[in-house]
Amino acid sequence: MSELHYELDLLTAMNQKLAGNERMYRMICGMSSSAFIYYNFNENRIEVLGCFQKFFHFQIRSLMDLSHIFASVMDEFENNLRGVFFGEEKGLENASCECCLQDGKTWMQFEVNITYDENKKPIEKVIRIKDITKRRKQNEELKYMAYYDTLTGLYNRNYFVRVLSEWLRRAEAEHAVVAVMCIDIDDFKKINDGLGMIAGDEMIQSFGLFLKAEFKNENTIIAHVNNDLFYMAIYEPVGHRSVDSIYNTIREKLKEPFVLSSSLSLKITVCVGVAEYPEASKNILELMNCAEIVMFKAKASGKDSIQYFETPILEDFRENVQLENKLKDALSENRFELYYQPQFDSKTKHLRGVEALLRWKDDSGKMISPGVFIPIAEQSGMIVPIGTWVLEEGISRFSKWKEKYNKDLVISLNISAIQYKRPEFVYNLLNILKKYNVNPCEVELEITESVLIEDFESVLEKLHVLKEYGIKISLDDFGTGFSSLSYLKGLPIDTLKIDKSFIDTVISDDSTRVITESIVSMVKKLGCETVAEGVETEEQYEYLKEIDCDNIQGFLLGRPMPANEIEKIIANSLSLL
């Protein structure tokens, strides 16, 4: 009897413990943010715990009811989900999947855990269901930030490179072509500087939106890479035709101005560089680089244009990069030198002054002409420190000659447009003059029309400032640009240099003679001095003297020469007086 009692007590105690455990599990599951489906294979018992009711508005009482869950996810996820729910069919212990519900917004994670007996027969399984919408959204945002450009909503460089690398792999297998277009807005800096960054950003945004709306399709990807630079890739374009037609559509659109929120309307043009896989390169970054290089080529040969990849463009570019590096070394290793070419009064043959001309002695001691390296120095911005060196070297040398020979002379210095545009240019020049105690009226700055073309108003203002300090301004290479005599009237210039191309044909060609004569007489009326450049023959000299051209510079009377040689000419000129 007591044994029976004992067993009863034990059973009651066990029951109580089991009930306690069950309460505990239910409490824990109730507090969890997940839902659980428990299934016992032997008993064919299914139970639902946790916040199942919060997620789904139906009950699960038997295995049949699971079909409601499969119906609640979007079709494309259903197969995966069934695989997770019935993992035992494949002998899995764990499996999981993420599915989007039919509302298109809610994401759920389903995870199964199955236990087996020693004969590998499943005993029970638990499926945990978790709402992962928030995590997915955060991931999406991170992905967005990682792949998209926040200003335009277009892809960013990273994503572009990623897709392009996939495309190139595919193109290799399919023997297809991929065209990469690099699109850059012309003079964007002017918009940004002139109208402010907000207007600049708006412009970029509008242009980006247009590209997206116009060209979005599965064979095209568009990215905003930085500033005003966009990239576009086209899988399997039909020859140049598809790229041309994209370019023409862009140009057509750009005929209309963009209207900004400030109701300002703005017209822009773009330059486009195109490089194709596999012709230009098989490497993604190189291919993008080629497109950018030829885009710069399009910029250099005039704005509002397109340039397709050609091997020589790349070779030139590489050579220029090498030269640019050498220029940097030359500056730090002091391998530049100034030569000086004398200018003489045509009537008296007295020395008027000297023009400083830059020379570069390369590693082998060979002199490299400025015609080769100045354009590269200008492109790379190296002209600014080089130009400062020229000013300092020329003016300090000139100051020594003045001290030694005390002769009235002018030193002419060539100033490139880039140097001239720098806000600190006038200040630096005045400082150098002060440092070497040189009178500003003995210094003549030679500028070309390119200085005037870009920003006439601000250049004019600077010219007036220079003039106020007494510095002379000379217009170089007259006759090679648009050279209209009428605009000369408005310019505060002191000297006009007639370009060598006129002097070359002045004897043989009647019309050149007529033009040269009218230039000289007109310039005289304006109160300016004239200098004829590149005078090589006695005949040219005699003719120029006759038509009253004031000064002569050229190989006939003196080539550009090192400082010690020109010093002899300066010393000589004193004895001639």
Binding mask 397-436 for ligand C2E (x = CB under 6 A): -----------------xxx--------------------
**Coil, strand or helix: which one is 199?**
helix
Site membership for ligand C2E, residue 66 (CB under 6 A) = no
Total chain residues near ligand C2E (CB under 6 A): 23
Q: Provide, rounded to whole angstroms, the least separation between the CB of residue 533 and Ca ion.
A: 5
Residue 353 interacting partner from ligand C2E, Ca ion, none (CB closer than 5 to 8 Å by kind) = none
- According to DSSP, the residues that pair with 308 across neighbouring strands are 274
> Judged by CB under 6 A, which of 560, 563, 566, 570 binds ligand C2E?
560
How many other C-beta atoms are found inside a 10 Å radius of the C-beta of residue 147?
Answer: 16
**Does the N-terminal peptide bond of residue 278 adopt cis geometry, omega within 30 degrees of 0?**
yes
Q: Which stretch binds ligand C2E (CB under 6 A): 75-83, 99-107, 288-296, 553-561?
A: 553-561
Contact between 391 and 375 (Cβ < 8 Å): no
> Judged by CB under 6 A, which of 97, 168, 390, 473 binds ligand C2E?
390
Q: What is the DSSP string of 262-316?
A: TS-EE---EEEEEEEETTT-SSHHHHHHHHHHHHHHHHHT-SS-EEE--HHHHHH
Which residues in the 302-341 window bind ligand C2E by CB under 6 A?
341
Residue 357 interacting partner from Ca ion, ligand C2E, none (CB closer than 5 to 8 Å by kind) = ligand C2E
Binding mask 430-469 for ligand C2E (x = CB under 6 A): ----------------x-----------------------
Q: What is the CA radius of gyration of the chain?
A: 40
Q: Provide, rounded to whole angstroms, the least separation between the CB of residue 496 and ligand C2E.
A: 13
DSSP secondary structure code for residue 64 in this structure: G
Q: Provide, rounded to whole angstroms, the least separation between the CB of residue 384 and ligand C2E.
A: 10
Is the CB of 341 or the CB of 530 nearer to ligand C2E?
341
Residue 358 interacting partner from Ca ion, ligand C2E, none (CB closer than 5 to 8 Å by kind) = ligand C2E
Which residues in the 352-371 window bind ligand C2E by CB under 6 A?
357-358, 369-371
Q: What is the DSSP string of 366-414?
A: PEEPHHHHHHHHHHHTTHHHHHHHHHHHHHHHHHHHHHHH----EEEEE
Q: Provide, rounded to whole angstroms, the least separation between the CB of residue 481 and ligand C2E.
A: 12
Closest CA to 421 of 458, 378, 382, 476: 458
Q: Provide, rounded to whole angstroms, the least separation between the CB of residue 545 and ligand C2E.
A: 16
Site membership for ligand C2E, residue 374 (CB under 6 A) = yes
Angstrom distance (rounded) from CA 38 to CA 115? 12
Number of H helices, E strands in the chain: 22, 22
Site membership for ligand C2E, residue 555 (CB under 6 A) = yes
Q: In this structure, what token pair is assigned to residue 569?
A: 């000419």
Following CA atoms 194, 199, 201, 205 in sequence, which dihedral angle do they give, to the nearest 10 degrees? -130
Site membership for ligand C2E, residue 393 (CB under 6 A) = no
**Position 41: which residue type?**
F
Residue 416 interacting partner from Ca ion, ligand C2E, none (CB closer than 5 to 8 Å by kind) = ligand C2E
Q: In this structure, what token pair is assigned to residue 101?
A: 């519900």
Q: Which residue has the tokens 């989007």?
A: 100
Which H or E element spans position 131?
strand 122-131
Q: Provide, rounded to whole angstroms, the least separation between the CB of residue 553 and ligand C2E.
A: 6
Which residues in the 532-551 window bind ligand C2E by CB under 6 A?
533-536
Which residues in the 470-489 window bind ligand C2E by CB under 6 A?
476-477
Q: In this structure, what token pair is assigned to residue 192?
A: 């940004």
Residue 10's alpha-carbon distances to 20, 23, 289, 411, in angstroms, are: 15, 20, 82, 117
Is the CB of 87 or the CB of 534 nearer to Ca ion?
534
Is the CB of 211 or the CB of 535 nearer to ligand C2E?
535
Residue 192 interacting partner from ligand C2E, Ca ion, none (CB closer than 5 to 8 Å by kind) = none
Question: Measured over all CA atoms, what is the biggest interatomic distance in the chain, rounded to whole angstroms?
Answer: 150
Q: Which residues contact 283 (CB under 8 A, 6 or more apart)?
A: none
Which residues here bind Ca ion, judged by CB under 5 A? 414, 446, 476-477, 533
Is the CB of 131 or the CB of 444 nearer to ligand C2E?
444
Q: Provide, rounded to whole angstroms, the least separation between the CB of residue 532 and Ca ion.
A: 10
What angle separates helix 311-332 from helix 284-300, to the nearest 10 degrees? Answer: 80
Residues that bind ligand C2E (CB under 6 A): 341, 357-358, 369-371, 374, 387, 390, 414-416, 446, 476-477, 533-536, 553-555, 560
